[in-house]
Amino acid sequence: MPRLLIPVESTPGETRVAATPDTVKKFLSFGCDVSVERGAGTTSGYLDQAYADQGAQLIDPGDAAGWSQADIFLCVQPPSAASLARLRQGALVVGLLSPYANEELTASLKRGALSAMALELLPRISRAQSADALSSQANIAGYKSVLLASAALDRYFPMLMTAAGTVQPAKVVILGAGVAGLQAVATARRLGAVVYVSDIRPAVKEQVESLGARFIEPPKLEDKPAESGGYAKQASDAFLAAQRQQLSDQLAEADVAICTAQVPGRRAPRLISEDMLDRMRPGAVVVDLAVAQGGNCADTVPGQTVDRNGVKLIGGNDLPCTVPNHASALYARNLVALLEPTLKDGDLKLDLEDELIAGCLVAQDGNILRGDVLTPGAS
């Protein structure tokens, strides 16, 4: 009977939890024992008693026996090397493990003979949608980015007709039409803004327009970027330069810019330069969701709001942590969807023939299976 452990997240500022009382009930129905550290769900609005009522065993944070007996360790952020060292050999770690070129994680997995599934590497296929944690969390980030922008903006979002005259709607430019970008489009439109979207992939035009936004056609160059595995490919320098020139005029008239363009495992493309910021009007707002990966916009700082000549630059990293109840609920359901096929007849079985498992299983019993990601360039 597999033993699951749900810890208190140790990363500063992390408010989510890897399981809710509802998903604990699910795991118990799969034949698992579930241990939850006391206080694990408090910052997400899930109290210890709610877990206990569903049948979870409550343990003290860091309880040695609870950690050493766990077969499956569910987390949101990657645990520290010291934390991983407390797990027994062969235990399975599942979460958003920041796997790209993560030498510390690689060393810990080898040293502890651990298995690990990194949700960032889940294949972008239809069957994986219910387990796609990146998408569920990006959806929240896109939504919250618009609320932050509307609160910081010195104007209304919608058009208003008042006795004192008509107020024109805000113009919002969204860079990137992935999950976060499309949710930002939908949220900004619901608030009444006029929305323009820039993306390097012409194929997303239909999705953008279906939400009521206007698509900014990408530059017409021969080396047009496309997508791979559901993500945008890295564009060439020439293409990005042409796109920035195109964006400059749009941003000069914009009230809000929301940056969502990211490439997995790579530094985020710099789309808004200082020269482009100089053209934006005082009072305009930029929310950069890619700030933790280097930022789409110049001068943004993770977790801070920078006033640059009157333009507010908001470093919007970890926005799902600001909506922890729903972020945790969605994330926990992602984990259930991923692990349910592996929990058969009261046992944990990892089928390497399953492309979902093979795609995100970075290590098994200390053997590194995705060295291309964890240790790229290693011989």
Asked if 322 contacts 347 with a C-beta cutoff of 8 angstroms, the reply is no
Residue type, 135: S
Indicate the pairing of strand 361-364 with strand 115-118: antiparallel
* Catalytic (active site) residue 318: no
Catalytic-labelled residue, pool 132, 255, 288, 318: 132
CA angle 296/297/299 to nearest 5° reads 135
Catalytic-labelled residue, pool 44, 54, 108, 135: 135
Indicate the pairing of strand 160-162 with strand 72-74: unpaired
- Measure the CA–CA gap between 103 and 100, rounded to whole angstroms: 9
* Catalytic (active site) residue 196: no
Catalytic-labelled residue, pool 129, 228, 245, 304: 129
Catalytic-labelled residue, pool 38, 86, 88, 124: 124
Give which of 117, 116, 119, 118 is closest to 132, Cα–Cα: 119
Q: At what angle do helices 179-190 and 133-152 cross, to 10 degrees?
A: 40
Catalytic-labelled residue, pool 33, 38, 155, 231: 231
Give which of 350, 332, 353, 333 is closest to 341, Cα–Cα: 350
* Catalytic (active site) residue 29: no
CA angle 351/29/341 to nearest 5° reads 15
Report the DSSP beta bridge partners of residue 216.
Answer: 198
- Measure the CA–CA gap between 97 and 153, rounded to whole angstroms: 35
Give which of 54, 61, 64 is closest to 32, Cα–Cα: 54
* Catalytic (active site) residue 234: no
- First and final C-alpha spacing in the chain: 39
Q: Kindly state the tokens that stand for 190.
A: 């619901």
Active site residues: 124, 129, 132, 135, 231
